[in-house]
Amino acid sequence: MAGGRGTVLVATPCLGACASGAVAAVARRDDATGTTGPSVWLGGVDQAAVLGALLDWIGSGGPPRIELPADDLPGTLHDAILGLGRPIRTHRTGN
């Protein structure tokens, strides 16, 4: 992920879905506008098979279409889907 263009990793304590294990949200960002599309939330990312499939998917480009983040999701990740959400918003602080 460190080499991925536009990849953002945020670590945080439990956000309320602790029973789902580590959780990841993946969304596609439009290069031209910088707009982020809806996100697909995946649970169990602390499991080796799920994490490996997630890293492979992101490494190969992740969601192919901004409006359908779970489109073309590898079969290994289908059971990990917790849901789809509104676009992720990040806010920069400082200068």
Query: Mean pLDDT over all residues of the chain?
Result: 81
Alpha helices in the chain (DSSP H): 48-59, 75-78
What percent of the chain stands above pLDDT 70? 79
Residue 61: per-residue pLDDT: 86
What per-residue confidence (pLDDT) applies to 31? 81
Instruction: Supply the pTM of this predicted model.
Output: 0.78
What are the residue ranges spanned by the domains of the chain?
21-85
pLDDT of residue 3: 55
Question: How many distinct helices (H) and strands (E) make up the chain?
Answer: 2, 3
Is there a contact between 6 and 29 (Cβ–Cβ < 8 Å)? yes
